[in-house]
């Protein structure tokens, strides 16, 4: 927000007394409204939009209160801590006619976008999509206490990227969450899941938040397979592919393909902020608009339900 030339922070609210003022000062912002009362902040500052970066359990109330005050919201992922809460947030956006977008910031990674173009151009509609996420993360705070820290707080990014890459929607999932003996999380810090997606695609997710050493990228490592070949992305450099260029022999002949990673796209949170501002100005539908983002949220809750019930479950929005 500070770095974007089109935005100005006019107020900061945190439920913990003194924290907003402390944060304002630490960020070097000029004196603005700071406090613990959201209604008072909205009343006194009358912002053009609100950014909700509270902990997940607070997203529902904070977002709905802003929307009902007529203020569009750019909220952090995951949209909510339950699917029911997410549905109420989407309804609030419809009822008030105000934009609610979730900042699914990893969609704005130029390398991920290059991978999607490569899949589209060279591989064709996917039948197989795999992702691996292995990072030993010592956060402290709310994640250490959550029941499903990996699936609810992190896998949402990877599931959302799977939808973005495949252009397919989730149908059903079988998932197992587990917590290895050495895990420092209270809840399940690891998971394996298989999603059935539209078009017959199977998307396989393997992840861990308590794997020390040989970390994958935060963007995960990916393999995509379609009728014309395979593409991989290690989540770090540029993606590449091999496509079939003839027939005959034990293996069909293939040729290497790559896709240029564009340097000129704003990435991460800056990318989602720009998408949001453009939507406010033009009425365009941004990525992460709540009606679309809830499909990624639904993948999360269906995976958790499958894991709890030990069976394959439908993914329902």
| Phi, psi for 197 (deg, rounded to 5) | -120, 165
**Using rule CB under 6 A, residue 150 touches ligand NAD:** no
Spatial distance between the Cα atoms of 316 and 69, rounded to a whole number of angstroms: 30
b/e map 5-19, b = 16+ CB within 10 Å? eeeebebbbbeeeee
**Using rule CB under 6 A, residue 149 touches ligand NAD:** no
Among 28, 140, 141, 246, interactor with ligand NAD by CB under 6 A: 141
**Please, what is the minimum distance in Å from the beta carbon of residue 297 to ligand NAD?**
12
State which residue, 19 or 128, has the beta carbon closest to ligand NAD.
Answer: 19
State which residue, 24 or 228, has the beta carbon closest to ligand NAD.
Answer: 24
Part in contact with ligand NAD (CB under 6 A); list of ranges 55-63, 113-121, 180-188, 273-281? 55-63
**Using rule CB under 6 A, residue 296 touches ligand NAD:** no
Among 11, 14, 112, 183, interactor with ligand NAD by CB under 6 A: 14
State which residue, 119 or 209, has the beta carbon closest to ligand NAD.
Answer: 209
Chain residues 81-120 in contact with ligand NAD, contact rule CB under 6 A? 103, 105
**Please, what is the minimum distance in Å from the beta carbon of residue 278 to ligand NAD?**
19
**Please, what is the minimum distance in Å from the beta carbon of residue 73 to ligand NAD?**
13
CA angle 73, 117, 258 (to 5 degrees): 135
Part in contact with ligand NAD (CB under 6 A); list of ranges 9-17, 25-33, 119-127, 233-241? 9-17
**Using rule CB under 6 A, residue 34 touches ligand NAD:** no
**Using rule CB under 6 A, residue 9 touches ligand NAD:** no
Spatial distance between the Cα atoms of 239 and 158, rounded to a whole number of angstroms: 16
Strand order across the beta sheet in which 313-314 lies: 254-258, 240-244, 229-233, 221-226, 128-134, 202-208, 190-197, 170-178, 313-314
Name the nearest CA neighbour of 255 among 265, 268, 241, 269: 241
Spell out where the chain has E strands. Answer: 11-13, 33-35, 50-52, 73-76, 100-103, 128-134, 170-178, 190-197, 202-208, 221-226, 229-233, 240-244, 254-258, 313-314
**Please, what is the minimum distance in Å from the beta carbon of residue 125 to ligand NAD?**
29
b/e map 86-111, b = 16+ CB within 10 Å? bbebbebbeebebbbbbbbbbbbbbb
Give the β-pairing of 240-244 and 100-103.
unpaired
Among 13, 114, 224, 294, interactor with ligand NAD by CB under 6 A: 13
**Please, what is the minimum distance in Å from the beta carbon of residue 251 to ligand NAD?**
40
Where do the H-state alpha helices sit in 140-260?
A: 142-145, 156-166
Among 32, 55, 270, 317, interactor with ligand NAD by CB under 6 A: 55
Part in contact with ligand NAD (CB under 6 A); list of ranges 25-33, 50-58, 280-288, 304-312? 50-58
104 and 82 Cβ atoms separated by less than 8 Å: no
Q: Which residues contact 39 (CB under 8 A, 6 or more apart)?
A: 65, 69
Part in contact with ligand NAD (CB under 6 A); list of ranges 15-23, 205-213, 230-238, 305-313? 15-23
Among 4, 8, 15, 145, interactor with ligand NAD by CB under 6 A: 15
Among 153, 177, 219, 242, interactor with ligand NAD by CB under 6 A: 153
Q: Please report, as ranges, the residues that interact with ligand NAD according to CB under 6 A.
A: 13-16, 19, 53-56, 58, 62, 76-77, 103, 105, 141-142, 153
């Amino acid at each position: 927000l500070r770095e974007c030339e089109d935005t100005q922070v006019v107020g900061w609210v945190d439920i913990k007394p003194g924290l907003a003022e402390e944060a304002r000062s630490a960020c070097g912002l000029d004196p603005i409204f700071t406090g613990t009362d959201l209604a008072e902040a909205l009343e006194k500052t009358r912002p053009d939009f609100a950014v909700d970066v509270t902990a997940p359990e607070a997203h529902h109330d904070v977002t709905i209160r802003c929307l009902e005050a007529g203020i569009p919201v750019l909220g952090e992922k995951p949209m909510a801590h339950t699917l029911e809460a997410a549905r109420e947030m989407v309804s609030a956006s419809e009822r008030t006619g105000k934009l609610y977008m979730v900042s699914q910031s990893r969609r704005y990674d130029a390398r991920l976008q290059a991978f999607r173009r490569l899949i589209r151009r060279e591989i064709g509609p996917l039948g197989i999509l795999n992702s691996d996420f292995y990072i030993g993360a010592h956060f402290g705070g709310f994640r250490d206490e959550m029941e499903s820290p990996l699936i609810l707080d992190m896998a949402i990014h990877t599931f959302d990227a799977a939808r973005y890459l495949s252009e397919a929607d989730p149908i059903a999932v079988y998932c197992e969450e587990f917590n290895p003996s050495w895990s420092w999380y209270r809840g399940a810090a690891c998971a394996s899941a298989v999603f059935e997606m539209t078009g017959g695609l199977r998307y396989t997710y393997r992840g861990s938040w308590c794997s020390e050493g040989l970390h994958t990228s935060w963007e995960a490592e990916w393999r995509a397979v379609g009728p014309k070949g395979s593409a991989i992305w290690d989540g770090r450099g540029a993606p590449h592919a091999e496509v079939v260029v003839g027939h005959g022999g034990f293996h069909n002949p293939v040729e290497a393909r790559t896709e240029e990673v564009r340097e000129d796209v704003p990435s991460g949170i800056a990318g989602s902020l720009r998408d949001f501002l453009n939507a406010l100005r033009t009425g365009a539908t941004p990525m992460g608009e709540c009606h679309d983002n809830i499909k990624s949220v639904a993948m999360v809750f269906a995976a958790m339900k499958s894991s709890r019930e030990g069976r394959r479950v439908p993914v329902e929005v």
